[in-house]
Structure 1
Amino acid sequence: MRNLRSSLAAVMGLGTLAGSVHAYAAERLVRTPEAFEAAVRASIPGDSVVLANGVWRNFEIMFTGEGTAAEPITLRAQTPGKVVISGKSNLRIAGRHLVVSGLTFKDGFSPSSEVIAFRKDNQALAFDSRVTETVIDGFNKPDRAAEDYWVGLYGQNNRFDHNHLQGKLNNGVTLAVVLSSVESQQNHHHIDHNYFGPRPPLGSNGGETIRVGTSQFSRTRSLTVVEDNYFEGCSGEVEIVSNKSGGNIYRRNVFVRSQGSLVLRHGDGNLVEDNVFLGGGLAHTGGVRVINAGQTVRNNYFHGLRGDGFTAALVMMNGVPNSPLNRYNQVLDARIEKNVFVDVKQVLFGAGADQERTLPPARSTLSGNVFLGAGDEAIFKAEAPIDGLAFVGNTVDGVAPPTDASGFEAKAIGRQTLPDGRVYPDAAARQALGLQAPVKLLAREETGVAWYPKGDQAVAFDSGRVLKIKPGQDQLSAAAVRAKAGDIIELAAGDYAEGRVVEVRQPLTFRAATGTQPVVAFDHATLFSLAGEGALKLQGLRLSGARAPDAVGNAVVRVSSSAPLSNYAVELLDTEVSHLGRGAFAVLRGEKGTFADHVTIRGSRFTDIGGVVLDLAGEAGGLGLYGAERVDITGSQFTRLGGPVLDLLRGGTDESTFGPRVWVKGSTFRDVAPGHPSMRLDGVQVVKLDGNLFERAAPARVTVHVGKPDLSEAGNTGAALEIVDQRK
């Protein structure tokens, strides 16, 4: 057998590695896609196919075979972390007892609907197979609206463990368990010890990190176990984990500064136990949202969560009578037991109650839970009757019990700070309350892989070198070519003229030297163009469009949707923009398919501008897409504008996002958008107007399509806010 294998390897041009696992097992080192395909065809149980170190570009990997439990067939990297799959590439696995390990997907995107699929096609699925110690980092389709899964689990008894996934920016779930065939139901998949790193807001529905099932198959049992995973900065939308099937277990997972919740969206009889939710005081950090029947939530720990509404620490929703599959079934027979809540903003009963969602939770019990706060915080809120809930043996300390509800005892509870920083009832209090010892906090280092850095790798403004430039022609564009991410380009006093577009493909700052206010004029339709990973900060400059051409769609800063896809940021600090008086000239224009993490204007002045200052309404339509998560305007002046200060659109009635959010404070609107609103805020979820002056300027118009947006105004001079309610 060995001699025959050696002969076959020689004929096919395959290297054979020493040190076989079994007497007749072969390890084939391959260096080309053709050699890989030949090696896979030749593999039998116990064999390994080894990808040589290097970059494998435009490589669609089809790994099929029939191993055994004792002798799986393995595909692995020669050295974990040194085999990079890039370009238009993906991995499909089909067969039985297959193992994949050590690959890195980076600098590309999948040409299909998944990066890693536990299937060859709809008929050929994977069973009893495993993907481990593999990385997917920023492997995004160029079009933000184009949907894919990074991981699609099909078949049965598969394991996805010790992997590292971060930086998904386009539409679609990071990891999906798919139940679309009988062979993929009651699957017993195991998802464990993975690191799910930062996923920034998507700006629409479809930004979940994990989804188990779909509405269509929500009455099917999946029997999937999701345990011992670490979620850090997973903030794609309100559902970090979206459960849409029955019989699943979510256990010992850790959620750190992740905006959203673990949501039992559909499906009955699921268990959520021993999980840890650490909000760190970040807005919109949530816990568990309960919908449907027979759900159990026990022994979980919630600390520093600042979410409310759908992302409160604990949410029990109202249901829809005779609910269709894609809406909300009534909460029935839920058991919320022995959970510890410390310093949380809200616990909400009957969430979403409206003319459609009229069925409050019923036949459900909250027992033995502990709520710790400071002072006498009012964290409990009910939007529907709570007489269908039984409260038994719950204890509060520093928290006001729910109004008109028995089953809560207020008393002092001894507290201790654990070595990992968690505040918890001390041993005596735990014994008196019948609580278990604190569940061990899963360490970040116990998840993912050891050879790839965890956490947000984004480069911050002003974190690099200072490059000093002098007045003259095309100085800014030349400096941008030399600059590296995070660099500061400092302008000396004087006049600058740009005959080129300044290309910004990484975070850059252009700032005035101390005590100066240099003037930058330009003669193109655009001064700054942001693309790829571009982000722009302007500080202390005077920008003039007096020499720019009279063209439709002009913009001082234009954001392109060209690849690679990335969220951007724009900050204008102590900056003056003027003489954009012709046509529809904008200061900032985001194209369709672009998304701003934040746009900040502080201490700046805008005068004689023909169009919109911030044109962020490119995402037309009713799909819930929008162009910026947060817009902050402070201490700024807007004078003689032909269009509104801000045009921001979020269409549709979806409730899966937090934004857009708009704060305007201490600013002046004078002679703005004659005959039109001073700001058009369509579908914006949070609007706060504080201490502004509106003089010969109409109010900001907020159009409401869904939900209960947070709209407030205080201390403004002149009419500041007009609300148009289009909710049915």
Structure 2
Amino acid sequence: MKRLLLLTPALLMGLSLFAGTITVKNVTELHQADKNAKPGDVIILANGEWKDAMLRLGSKGTKEKPITFIAQTPGQVLITGHSNLKIGGQYLIIKGLQFLNGFAGTNAVIEFRLNKDQLANNCRVTECSINEFNNVKRMNENYWISFYGKNNRLDHSYFRNKKNMGVLIAVILDDERSRENHHSIDNNLFDGRPPLASNSGEIIRVGVSQHCQFNSFTNITDNYFKECDGETEIVSIKSGGNIVKNNLFRECQGGVVLRHGDNNTVENNIFLGNYKDGTGGVRVINKGQWVVNNFFFACRGVDFRSPLSVMNGIPNSPAHRYVQVTDAVIANNTFYNCSAASFCEGSDAERTLPPDNVYFANNIFYNTKDTNIYRVSDNMSGFAFSSNTASSAIAQALPAGFVKAAIQAASNNIAPLPAQISKKSAAVPDSIQKVALNRLGHKLPAAVGFGNKGTLQSVYQNAVTASGPVWLRASAKGRWTGMQVPVAECSSAEEVYAAIGRKEPIIIKLTGKEYMLDRPFTIQSHVTFDGNKATIRFSTPAIPAVFMVNGGGHLLLYNLMAEGSNVKAKSFICSDTSGPSNHYNIEMRASGVQGFDRMRGCESIFFSHKSTVADSVIFAGNSFSDNNADIIVMAEEKDDKGYYNAEKILIGQNQLKNINGVLLNVYRGGNDESTMGPKLIFENNTIEACKTPGSQPLISLTGVQQTKVISNTFKNANPQGVVLGYKDIVRARHLLEGNSFKDSGKVAENGFVENRDKAN
């Protein structure tokens, strides 16, 4: 696709001399200007807040004279409230809008169509921003950008922190009007997406499984993906003929997934994992995929998130499942201190077809950290290995087509880059070079490994200096950065209510002996409660909780000795009951909890409500004693779609004694494999004289993806039942080590548990 010219102020002034120029101040004036617009016209949107604005543009420019809609000052036209933009014209340019402090509901924030009959063609959205423009409730799904039509472009725009369900950018291929579209998504900055705790957390998805046999020909180039952790698929390709090129992926827990469709190309991308857990690269499925000349630095994902994952397929697979990998080219890539590549990934009773006719040549595996550079789960005779080079220190025995050698890595300001090796290169078959000339525009390089320092510098510098709008620089503005935090001494519940009414961080010192609540203490910012180790009685009617943490809230209870014999609240602590898009955090440290009783109405100490997500749940150094209640419950997500309530859970150095209830129940149901969480560490706890009132295990872990249960002491714990029960449908990683069980029940293991206690 031939890109539209980037409008500069000088060019805009020049256009205004030869075309109609009008300034509009509201939606009505904008729509009237759009209706009357002629090719070459410039419509200027006045600075200020455009609240609850449903913007609809359907005018028609020409290639030589597009119609331009531009902010009076780029970045100072604020689209807020319940707002969205729909574009259904031809040769339109929309520039400089900022979507902030609002939501779009079920619509996309920006949609390249007015309605099902009027799609956008040859239109461009440039230098715009969508910043945390999330639906209020997490489960209310929508896109931020939806592409329809053909030859549309999204460039130099900024996207930050999509938290509700739904892909950020979706390229739709519903019918012939939107197929073989040649869209361009380029030079954008994707500044973070937190783990969604479910599927549909992609940044870009091109096609869907139902349309995977059609070509899209979408170009995804020169973008900067920064800490995009929504799910395992950061860029999800579900159609054919797409190009992912010259992008920088920085510390993203996922990668580029060639999920459906054939003949896609991943070239010249930089994956900077920087040793972050779960950082991936490229996953290969289907026919004719090319992964060439990419640099993977310290990407530490495993399994589906491996730096390189080449999957098994299903015999006679329908197009929307797992088509066998065939006719792939994986060449001239460099892997620096990456976790092992995965060949024949996903091999199981259904996915039984290993990759075939995979040309795997001239790749470098530099590694001083691991013993293996790849792992294989099935027959890899379908790989044609040629002139790949690995560090001589690698202990793994490598097949023909690999050599071990001393590899030199040159330092630079981005990442150490192993030098290309020209003397060990393979003679690339003429048949492949012929395809390369047509497909890449050049032959595959003769040397082994990724490009050179110049290639690395150019891709990196373009990403960090030229992605996103000129008028916007990513910053931490508006985030709490550890400034001086005010302290409030509160001796009554009314004083606490007043103190937590502010949205800024605060430390509350509880100086009273009893707090009588008529509603929860609702936490909406970073709030610390310091109990000074004194015993404090809480009294409540039948309300949801003593402490309720809203989306965006961070609750820390410290040195709080809570006595709950007069608590009728359903929980001591709970998450927001409304299912907000914003995540929250819970910490309880060096505190004590006693006397809470389900017979008086308090069923749990901490309860996570459905559709809420915590970045972290931490209980460390606490004492729980004489409670007739469950302790930690995160098990209300029963839709079995891979949803869960907390990304990271740490339960450490706690004393739990005389508990009649479940100690920990974490549930993640279904067979979705797109997320990393929950991650649980349960270590150095002492559990004594605890039991469940029914047949439940004391600790139930269902579908939890990664767990470490280490160095805990169990005494008289559920002696007639199950102390610890694991249930998993999809692959998980569980470690059980250094635990002591005396007069206690059994551990119900499965095949994903590594029980080092049993081994010893």
Residue of structure 2 in register with 1:465 after alignment: 485
Q: SS at 1:55's partner residue?
A: strand
Counterpart of 1:715 in structure 2: which amino acid?
G
Is 1:521 the counterpart of 2:541 in the alignment? no
Q: Distance in 2 between matches of 1:450 and 1:642?
A: 60
Shift of the alpha carbon at 1:142? Answer: 2.1
Residue of structure 1 in register with 2:259 after alignment: 265
CA deviation map 1:131-173 (0-9, x unaligned): 0111111111222222211000111111100010111111110
Residue of structure 1 in register with 2:6 after alignment: none
Q: Can you give the 5+ residue segments of structure 2 that lack an aligned partner in the other structure?
A: 1-11, 425-445, 753-760
Q: Are the equivalent residues in 1 in contact too, given 2:240–2:263 (CA < 8 A)?
A: yes
Q: 2:723 aligns with which of 677, 688, 699?
A: 699
Residue of structure 2 in register with 1:11 after alignment: none
Q: 1:590 aligns with which of 608, 618, 627?
A: 608
Residue of structure 2 in register with 1:315 after alignment: 309
Residue of structure 2 in register with 1:504 after alignment: 523
Q: 1:140 to 1:653 in 2, by over 3 A?
A: same
Q: Which moved more, 1:502-511 or 1:304-313?
A: 502-511
Counterpart of 2:701 in structure 1: which amino acid?
L
Q: Are the equivalent residues in 1 in contact too, given 2:233–2:256 (CA < 8 A)?
A: yes
Q: Distance in 1 between matches of 2:476 and 2:395?
A: 39
Counterpart of 1:445 in structure 2: which amino acid?
T
Counterpart of 1:538 in structure 2: which amino acid?
L
Q: Are the equivalent residues in 2 in contact too, given 1:462–1:486 (CA < 8 A)?
A: no
Is 1:476 the counterpart of 2:502 in the alignment? no
Counterpart of 1:499 in structure 2: which amino acid?
L
Q: 1:205 to 1:399 in 2, by over 3 A?
A: farther
Q: SS at 2:501's partner residue?
A: helix
Shift of the alpha carbon at 1:323? Answer: 0.9
Counterpart of 1:689 in structure 2: which amino acid?
V
Q: 1:527 to 1:593 in 2, by over 3 A?
A: same
Q: SS at 1:206's partner residue?
A: coil
Q: SS at 1:711's partner residue?
A: strand
Q: Are the equivalent residues in 2 in contact too, given 1:464–1:488 (CA < 8 A)?
A: no
Q: 1:605 to 1:725 in 2, by over 3 A?
A: same
Q: 1:250 to 1:93 in 2, by over 3 A?
A: same
Cα RMSD after superposing both structures:
2.3
CA deviation map 1:432-471 (0-9, x unaligned): 7475323222342311124334266684585541314154
Q: Distance in 2 between matches of 1:547 and 1:511?
A: 21
CA deviation map 1:20-52 (0-9, x unaligned): 725452222111221111111111111122221
Counterpart of 2:654 in structure 1: which amino acid?
S
Residue of structure 2 in register with 1:634 after alignment: 652
Is 1:581 the counterpart of 2:581 in the alignment? no
Q: Can you give the 5+ residue segments of structure 1 that lack an aligned partner in the other structure?
A: 1-17
Q: 1:453 to 1:679 in 2, by over 3 A?
A: farther
Is 1:687 the counterpart of 2:707 in the alignment? yes
Q: Are the equivalent residues in 1 in contact too, given 2:580–2:612 (CA < 8 A)?
A: no
Q: Distance in 1 between matches of 2:341 and 2:393?
A: 11
TM-score, normalised relative to structure 1: 0.92
For 1:47-86, what aligned pairs fall within 5 Å after superposition?
47-86=41-80
Q: Which moved more, 1:227-236 or 1:373-382?
A: 373-382
Q: How many residues align?
A: 701
Q: Are the equivalent residues in 2 in contact too, given 1:569–1:597 (CA < 8 A)?
A: yes
Q: Are the equivalent residues in 2 in contact too, given 1:107–1:139 (CA < 8 A)?
A: yes
TM-score, normalised relative to structure 2: 0.88
Q: 1:443 to 1:464 in 2, by over 3 A?
A: farther
Q: 1:54 to 1:294 in 2, by over 3 A?
A: same
Residue of structure 1 in register with 2:733 after alignment: 710
Counterpart of 1:209 in structure 2: which amino acid?
I
Q: 1:423 to 1:460 in 2, by over 3 A?
A: farther
Q: Are the equivalent residues in 2 in contact too, given 1:464–1:486 (CA < 8 A)?
A: no
Q: Distance in 2 between matches of 1:79 and 1:563?
A: 37
For 1:109-128, what aligned pairs fall within 5 Å after superposition?
109-128=103-122
Q: Distance in 1 between matches of 2:14 and 2:411?
A: 50
Q: Which moved more, 1:285-294 or 1:42-51?
A: 42-51
Q: 1:140 to 1:462 in 2, by over 3 A?
A: same
Shift of the alpha carbon at 1:388? Answer: 0.8
Q: Are the equivalent residues in 1 in contact too, given 2:421–2:448 (CA < 8 A)?
A: no
Q: Distance in 2 between matches of 1:455 and 1:687?
A: 34
Q: Are the equivalent residues in 1 in contact too, given 2:163–2:582 (CA < 8 A)?
A: yes
Residue of structure 2 in register with 1:437 after alignment: 452
Q: Distance in 2 between matches of 1:415 and 1:720?
A: 51
Q: 1:722 to 1:256 in 2, by over 3 A?
A: same
Shift of the alpha carbon at 1:639? Answer: 2.0
Q: 1:256 to 1:65 in 2, by over 3 A?
A: same
CA deviation map 1:619-644 (0-9, x unaligned): 11122211111211111122222321
Residue of structure 2 in register with 1:8 after alignment: none
Is 1:533 the counterpart of 2:552 in the alignment? yes
Q: Distance in 2 between matches of 1:592 and 1:242?
A: 27
For 1:151-550, what aligned pairs fall within 5 Å after superposition?
151-374=145-368, 377-397=371-391, 400=394, 403=397, 405-425=399-419, 433=448, 436-438=451-453, 439=455, 440=458, 441=460, 442-454=462-474, 459=479, 463-482=483-502, 484-491=503-510, 495-500=513-518, 501-512=520-531, 516-517=533-534, 519=536, 521-524=538-541, 525=543, 526-549=545-568
Counterpart of 1:495 in structure 2: which amino acid?
K
Counterpart of 2:225 in structure 1: which amino acid?
F
CA deviation map 1:620-678 (0-9, x unaligned): 11222111112111111222223212222111111111111211000022213244211
Residue of structure 2 in register with 1:7 after alignment: none
Q: Which moved more, 1:458-467 or 1:146-155?
A: 458-467
Is 1:663 the counterpart of 2:687 in the alignment? no
Q: SS at 1:79's partner residue?
A: coil
Q: 1:120 to 1:363 in 2, by over 3 A?
A: same
Q: Are the equivalent residues in 2 in contact too, given 1:461–1:508 (CA < 8 A)?
A: no
Q: Are the equivalent residues in 1 in contact too, given 2:106–2:140 (CA < 8 A)?
A: no
CA deviation map 1:276-298 (0-9, x unaligned): 00112111100100111111111
Q: 1:129 aligns with which of 123, 133, 146?
A: 123
Counterpart of 1:699 in structure 2: which amino acid?
V
Shift of the alpha carbon at 1:326? Answer: 2.3
Q: Are the equivalent residues in 2 in contact too, given 1:538–1:573 (CA < 8 A)?
A: yes
Shift of the alpha carbon at 1:720? Answer: 6.8
Q: Are the equivalent residues in 2 in contact too, given 1:381–1:402 (CA < 8 A)?
A: no
Q: Are the equivalent residues in 1 in contact too, given 2:39–2:67 (CA < 8 A)?
A: yes
